[in-house]
Amino acid sequence: MDAKVASLLNEQINKELYSAYLYLDFANYYASVGLDGFENWYRVQAQEERDHAMLFYQYLQNNGETVTFGAVDAPNWTRGDNMTPLKKAFEHEQYVTSLINTIYAAAYEVHDFRTMQVLDWFVKEQGEEEKNASDMITKMELFGTDAKGLYMLNSELKARVYTAPSLVL
């Protein structure tokens, strides 16, 4: 595997773990304000991000690459109202999409088609992640200022369950 591609994949493990920390902190915020459905949604999201890190880890291992771990930064965001985590999540997903695109471009440059094929799943996943984050903002804008609407939205989010990714490496 090309050294630059391997390095970027290795760095992505750390970025995915940071994403998990960030989403756990969002869950923590929502728990503190009594929105247990939102808390659940972000706890599930954190699990997804941990699994994304593990997919990159396993891919590097399967290809004989050494995995190195760096420190995972503490979540960095300023608490505000109930909309703040939603907007920060959308911005963060756009950032993660840019990271995946950078890895894809590096793999393309060296004709690493196997890595590109694995990254195809992540490109699709990021499209879904951005859409989900955008939809959360829209729903909060529509229903978040009405107590009954917020209650219903919170109840909807409480029903989310984790489903492990089905990606063959």
Distances, alpha carbon 28 to alpha carbons 18, 21, 40, in Å: 15, 10, 10
Helix ranges, the chain (H): 3-32, 36-62, 84-109, 113-143, 147-158
Measured over the CA atoms of residue 83, residue 123, residue 103 and residue 62, the dihedral's sign is: positive
- Cβ(77)–Cβ(88) below 8 Å: yes
- Cβ(127)–Cβ(96) below 8 Å: no
Residue 43: φ, ψ to 5°: -65, -40
d(CA 1, CA 9): 11
Residues of the chain with confidence (pLDDT) below 50: none
Per-residue pLDDT at 132: 97
